[in-house]
Protein backbone atom coordinates (compact mmCIF):
# COMPACT_ATOMS: atom_id res chain seq x y z
CA UNK A 1 0.00 0.00 0.00
CA UNK A 2 1.25 3.53 -0.78
CA UNK A 3 2.46 6.00 1.78
CA UNK A 4 0.02 8.41 3.38
CA UNK A 5 0.33 12.13 2.90
CA UNK A 6 -0.19 14.59 5.73
CA UNK A 7 -0.51 18.35 6.01
CA UNK A 8 0.55 20.36 9.02
CA UNK A 9 -2.13 22.75 10.27
CA UNK A 10 -2.55 24.82 13.39
CA UNK A 11 -3.63 21.63 15.16
CA UNK A 12 -1.22 19.61 17.28
CA UNK A 13 -1.36 16.52 15.05
CA UNK A 14 -0.70 16.39 11.29
CA UNK A 15 -3.94 15.85 9.35
CA UNK A 16 -3.99 13.05 6.74
CA UNK A 17 -4.80 14.22 3.21
CA UNK A 18 -6.38 10.95 2.14
CA UNK A 19 -9.43 10.79 4.41
CA UNK A 20 -12.10 13.14 3.04
CA UNK A 21 -14.61 11.68 5.50
CA UNK A 22 -12.86 13.56 8.31
CA UNK A 23 -14.23 17.07 8.83
CA UNK A 24 -10.72 18.50 9.23
CA UNK A 25 -9.25 16.88 6.11
CA UNK A 26 -8.00 19.47 3.58
CA UNK A 27 -9.00 17.09 0.79
CA UNK A 28 -12.58 17.27 2.04
CA UNK A 29 -12.50 21.06 1.95
CA UNK A 30 -11.25 20.94 -1.63
CA UNK A 31 -13.96 18.45 -2.62
CA UNK A 32 -16.52 20.75 -0.99
CA UNK A 33 -15.18 23.62 -3.11
CA UNK A 34 -15.28 21.84 -6.45
CA UNK A 35 -18.59 20.15 -5.65
CA UNK A 36 -20.20 23.47 -4.80
CA UNK A 37 -23.33 24.39 -6.73
CA UNK A 38 -21.77 27.37 -8.53
CA UNK A 39 -18.11 26.33 -8.80
CA UNK A 40 -18.68 23.72 -11.48
CA UNK A 41 -20.59 26.22 -13.61
CA UNK A 42 -18.04 29.01 -13.18
CA UNK A 43 -15.12 26.69 -13.99
CA UNK A 44 -17.03 25.41 -17.02
CA UNK A 45 -17.46 28.93 -18.38
CA UNK A 46 -13.87 29.89 -17.60
CA UNK A 47 -12.70 26.78 -19.44
CA UNK A 48 -13.87 28.61 -22.58
CA UNK A 49 -11.53 31.54 -21.84
CA UNK A 50 -11.08 34.59 -19.65
CA UNK A 51 -14.26 36.29 -18.56
CA UNK A 52 -15.49 39.41 -16.87
CA UNK A 53 -17.78 39.28 -13.84
CA UNK A 54 -20.79 40.57 -15.81
CA UNK A 55 -20.35 37.86 -18.44
CA UNK A 56 -20.16 35.14 -15.77
CA UNK A 57 -23.26 36.53 -14.11
CA UNK A 58 -25.21 36.46 -17.38
CA UNK A 59 -24.09 32.93 -18.24
CA UNK A 60 -24.76 31.36 -14.83
CA UNK A 61 -28.50 31.81 -14.57
CA UNK A 62 -29.80 32.08 -11.04
CA UNK A 63 -26.55 33.04 -9.33
CA UNK A 64 -26.73 36.19 -7.23
CA UNK A 65 -24.01 38.81 -7.35
CA UNK A 66 -23.10 37.91 -3.77
CA UNK A 67 -22.78 34.18 -4.49
CA UNK A 68 -20.78 34.73 -7.66
CA UNK A 69 -18.43 37.04 -5.75
CA UNK A 70 -18.01 34.48 -2.96
CA UNK A 71 -17.44 31.67 -5.45
CA UNK A 72 -14.81 33.63 -7.38
CA UNK A 73 -13.04 34.70 -4.17
CA UNK A 74 -12.96 31.11 -2.92
CA UNK A 75 -11.61 29.84 -6.23
CA UNK A 76 -9.00 32.59 -6.23
CA UNK A 77 -8.00 31.79 -2.65
CA UNK A 78 -7.65 28.11 -3.54
CA UNK A 79 -5.41 28.96 -6.48
CA UNK A 80 -7.86 27.79 -9.13
CA UNK A 81 -8.79 31.19 -10.56
CA UNK A 82 -6.67 34.25 -11.26
CA UNK A 83 -8.20 37.72 -10.99
CA UNK A 84 -6.55 40.39 -13.13
CA UNK A 85 -7.31 44.08 -12.70
CA UNK A 86 -6.52 46.30 -15.67
CA UNK A 87 -5.82 49.95 -14.80
CA UNK A 88 -8.24 51.44 -17.30
CA UNK A 89 -11.10 53.88 -16.95
CA UNK A 90 -13.39 52.31 -16.03
CA UNK A 91 -11.37 49.57 -14.34
CA UNK A 92 -11.61 46.21 -16.10
CA UNK A 93 -11.40 42.97 -14.12
CA UNK A 94 -11.07 39.56 -15.76
CA UNK A 95 -11.08 36.08 -14.32
CA UNK A 96 -9.16 33.13 -15.73
CA UNK A 97 -8.38 29.59 -14.70
CA UNK A 98 -4.89 28.97 -13.36
CA UNK A 99 -2.93 25.90 -14.43
CA UNK A 100 -4.42 24.05 -11.43
CA UNK A 101 -7.90 25.27 -12.35
CA UNK A 102 -7.51 24.01 -15.92
CA UNK A 103 -6.84 20.50 -14.60
CA UNK A 104 -10.44 20.51 -13.33
CA UNK A 105 -11.91 20.94 -16.81
CA UNK A 106 -11.72 17.31 -17.90
CA UNK A 107 -13.29 15.79 -14.75
CA UNK A 108 -15.99 18.47 -14.68
CA UNK A 109 -16.72 17.91 -18.36
CA UNK A 110 -17.10 14.19 -17.61
CA UNK A 111 -19.61 15.00 -14.85
CA UNK A 112 -21.51 17.30 -17.20
CA UNK A 113 -21.67 14.56 -19.83
CA UNK A 114 -22.85 12.08 -17.20
CA UNK A 115 -25.62 14.48 -16.13
CA UNK A 116 -26.74 14.99 -19.73
CA UNK A 117 -26.72 11.24 -20.39
CA UNK A 118 -28.64 10.34 -17.23
CA UNK A 119 -30.97 13.33 -16.79
CA UNK A 120 -33.99 11.51 -18.25
CA UNK A 121 -33.39 8.42 -16.09
CA UNK A 122 -33.00 10.52 -12.94
CA UNK A 123 -36.15 12.50 -13.73
CA UNK A 124 -38.07 9.23 -14.20
CA UNK A 125 -36.74 7.86 -10.90
CA UNK A 126 -37.72 11.08 -9.14
CA UNK A 127 -41.22 10.97 -10.58
CA UNK A 128 -41.63 7.31 -9.55
CA UNK A 129 -40.36 8.07 -6.07
CA UNK A 130 -42.61 11.12 -5.68
CA UNK A 131 -45.62 9.13 -6.92
CA UNK A 132 -45.01 6.32 -4.43
CA UNK A 133 -44.43 8.60 -1.45
pLDDT at residue 23 in the model: 83
In the 8-state DSSP scheme, what is residue 57?
Answer: H
In sequence order, the 6+-apart residues with CB closer than 8 A to the CB of 110 are: none
Sign of the alpha-carbon torsion through 114, 106, 2, 22: negative
Share of the chain above pLDDT 90, in %: 70
Q: How far apart are CA 68 and CA 42, in angstroms?
A: 8
pLDDT at residue 110 in the model: 94
pLDDT at residue 1 in the model: 43
Do 32 and 39 contact (CB within 8 A), yes or no? no
pLDDT at residue 10 in the model: 59
Summarised one tens digit per residue, pLDDT across range 71-87 is 999 999 999 999 999 99
Helix, strand, coil percentages (3-state) for the chain, rounded to 5, are: 50, 15, 35
> Residue 7 pLDDT > 60, yes or no?
no
Pick the CATH number of 35-102 from 1.10.3720.10, 2.30.30.90, 1.10.10.10, 1.10.390.10: 1.10.10.10
Amino acid sequence: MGSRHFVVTNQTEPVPLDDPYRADCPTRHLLDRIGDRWTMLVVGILSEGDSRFSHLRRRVEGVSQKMLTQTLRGLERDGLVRRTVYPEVPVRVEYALTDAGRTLCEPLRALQEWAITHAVDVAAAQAAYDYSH
